[in-house]
Chains A and B, each alone.
Chain A
Amino acid sequence: MTGYKQVPGLVEVREAFGETTLVVEREQLRAAALHLRDELGFNYLADIAGADYLGWSGEVAGSWGSAEGRDLNLPYTLGAAPAPEPKPKRFSLSYHLLALRDEPVRLRLQTWLDDGETAPSAVEIWPAADWLEREVYDLMGIVFDGHPNLVRLLTPDDWEGHPLRKDYPVGGEPVRFSEEV
């Protein structure tokens, strides 16, 4: 815990479910990643996961309740269930790091972005980030500055929209030839 004090742009260190999450400012992400790799030995990038928190504590489809995030249906709470903690921005970007050594350490490096904001690319720091960042760009629409080849990875090159965003409808993908009907 104390070892993370020196990380550039550090916002908070969170411990939950036995996992450590390091939240850093978006502008300092590159410096923080370099610090973690070179000073603290996080040499292995296991995964990059983006998440869209649009409508996180408000009204969403399903049984989730009112705009305050209270759910009258939640058993035994009489509608007083605590709302999930609001998130600072719309998107989170989580880098799951691993210090691959005799005493392994795992860490989640997290940063927050709004729609239209970009993140610095980590390809030069961990080459594994190449396809992982392309996947996040493809499905979540987060642009990585300085990525040498940022094109779609899983969906076709001419695909419209980013499927894992919360405002992307299920079953709403454009169907070929439908305009002719």
Chain B
Amino acid sequence: MVITFPHMGKMYIPVKALFDELGVDIIIPPKINKDTLDIGLKSCPEMACLPLKVTIGNYVESIKRGADTIVLSGSCGPCRFGYYGVIQKEILKDLGYDVDIVILDPPREGLRELIDRLKKISGNCSLYSGLAALSKAFKVSEGVEELLELVLKQRCKEINKGDTDDILSRFEEKVRKVKGANKILDCIQDAKGELSKVRLDSKKKTIKIGLVGEIYTIIEPFVNFDIEKKLGDMGVEVHREMSVDNWVKYHLFPDIKFRRKQKRTLKYAKDYLDLCIGGHAWETIAHALYYARKGMDGIIQIMPFGCMPEIVAESILPTLAKNENIPVMTLVVDELTGEAGYQTRLEAFVDLLQLERSRKENEFGEALSWN
């Protein structure tokens, strides 16, 4: 049995750590590129959301490299993500790949089934070693997130453009080659060490933008055209509450303190939306409010075209923007999004924020009469 899984940003690192510790063979799909998407476009329903198309590409590329089992997390509504596994199995079947798709649904859908499936993919390891592997994977996930946060903070202030990203891409190359959670943790430490040596312009005044939206499009750099890097290079400090680590902490790990904090943040948004409507719409609104009150200069929402929950969030955000007096821009991405237009919109948004900032600081005073 050789396991593969879909890409979502840097999620492959903790997943790799987990399976390495369990001693299960895995194939990490190649980094998402245009070809990956093309495979998905040829075989997926046109109206499906972008992640479905990209992940099909991931599977096919991994299957060609020898994978025979796909592991996917599941859910039971209301977002259609819960049905990805079923659709993808049919698509792969018609493409001629008869592989096993293991969907890990939440326990309330059947605890027995979940345990059976977990046993299957963990190579029948003992409960103790399973938990030990899991706890190590959690550590890796935390480490990766810390590293990424450091990158976010530093990128906008580095003196030599590209230093931070060089370290990050070197780290990613290295991590694919090593085996075992401990070695991965070492890699993370090394990368952090290197990052601390990057020369920064600490006095630089940066514009602060908060990212909200659907988790996949926020985290996966291919589908959002590496928005973090694009903004960082423009000298923008990007804040991103949504992350794999937070998701794990909220849904899988018994981290009560974090859960409470998260629930508090969500309750915060009750004037705009006070129930879960699926996907990450509630988080989108809650985080947007959180950013607004934290003094960010602007908020960018990213979602895949046709994302059902985010469309609701999209209709609420303008009111929030008005009430909290903060600019909000929504970026909808799909397979046809052009990079140049996207870049232009980002630049224009950042320009506006800069203008607003200087107006607030009264640098131009009354000279800008059109304001």
A and B co-occur in one complex: no
